[in-house]
Amino acid sequence: MSLYSQNTAIVVNKQSLRISAPTHSSQFTHYFSVASNSKNDSQRRDALSFLISHVSSLPANNELPLPTSVLLPKLLPLILDGSGSVRTQLLKLYRLFPKNDIAERIENSLLYIRAGMTHLSLDIRTDALAFLEWLLEVAEEEVVGCAGGWFKVLKCFMSIMGWAATTETSKWTSGIKVTFPKAGKAYPYQLLVFSKFLKAGLIESEHVTRLAEHRRSERLNQSISIFPVVDSHFNMIPTVSNAYAHLNLFGKPRDEEGEAYCDRKARQRVFKNYFLLDIQTGVKTARKDGGEIGRAAAAFDEVLRKGMTDYIDSE
């Protein structure tokens, strides 16, 4: 009997043959689903790589295959992903999204960034700061002015830097260096991002400064032309809605952590009341370390001085 007389067969249960290739839109949707739902690190990373190449190849004014309002809620949890390569690819993709769409949904991004900033993993904390740093580049006003964007992020920075005061002794503590000894290597970068955050919240941008100077010049010219009625703009109808919101005359008791501080003076007030003394103590200690940490602390101290000098002098 021949050894080759017995027939063999390979059985495939289901086959799906198509004449046309899948569309770019369907491919994008498929890889988006893989990136947001797959339990395999390499699959999530490769899916994000495909999304990056697809979005980057789109013409400048073309819309994404899926709206940002659909993409962000599914992709933002990957800020806390355990794989560093996945987080790196996510940041690359995040940078390609329309900046206006990111600014409109800044609170969703900050929710996961704050969770990443207080994560037990040093790598996740560092990558969360990278996300925050990019947000400050494209939408700094929205970051510091949205609900919880000022107070809650400051609390996260106080925790990550170890500058929070203990409730038992009311003394400054550097607990973060004790709990996470390796955090010292990331300390200069943490100081850098923290200083950028304070600069966005406490120091007016050049555009805002120029606009204010232009308005002052217009008011001066107007006052001269209608002399002796000077400073008449103080008696006019306010140009913003709810101009006396800071008094909270008829509102509920304030949730200061979750409140939106759109005004620079309001951010300065909260910063001085809750964070200034502890931060000054922390920066003073960091400057004594010298080296890269000392230089970063000196730059941080300069931002702190510029941001709070006019507020302290006005009291």
Domain boundary pick from 97, 125, 160:
97
In a domain, 288, yes or no: yes
> Residue 260 corresponds to which tokens in the numbers above?
């939106």
Provide the domain limits for residue 45: 23-97
State whether 167 and 285 are in the same domain. Answer: yes
State whether 65 and 126 are in the same domain. Answer: no
In a domain, 106, yes or no: no
* Run of H or E including 259: none
Query: Whole-model pTM?
Result: 0.79
State whether 314 and 169 are in the same domain. Answer: yes
Residue stretches of the chain with pLDDT short of 70: 1-21, 165-184, 206-234, 240-241, 245-248, 251, 254, 312-315
In a domain, 105, yes or no: no
State whether 164 and 293 are in the same domain. Answer: yes
In a domain, 11, yes or no: no
In a domain, 230, yes or no: no
> Residue 200 corresponds to which tokens in the numbers above?
């966005």
State whether 121 and 67 are in the same domain. Answer: no
> What pLDDT is stored for residue 219 in this prediction?
62
CB burial string 284-294: b at 16+ within 10 A, e below: eebbeeeeebe
State whether 40 and 89 are in the same domain. Answer: yes
State whether 138 and 182 are in the same domain. Answer: yes
**What SS3 class is residue 147?**
strand
> How far apart are alpha carbons 195 and 250 in whole angstroms?
36
In a domain, 245, yes or no: no
pLDDT tens digits, 35-62: 999 999 999 999 999 999 999 998 878 8
Q: How many residues are recorded in the chain?
A: 315
CA 11 distance to own-chain centroid:
53
> What pLDDT is stored for residue 226 in this prediction?
56
């899948």: which residue's tokens?
Answer: 22
State whether 39 and 132 are in the same domain. Answer: no
**What SS3 class is residue 236?**
coil
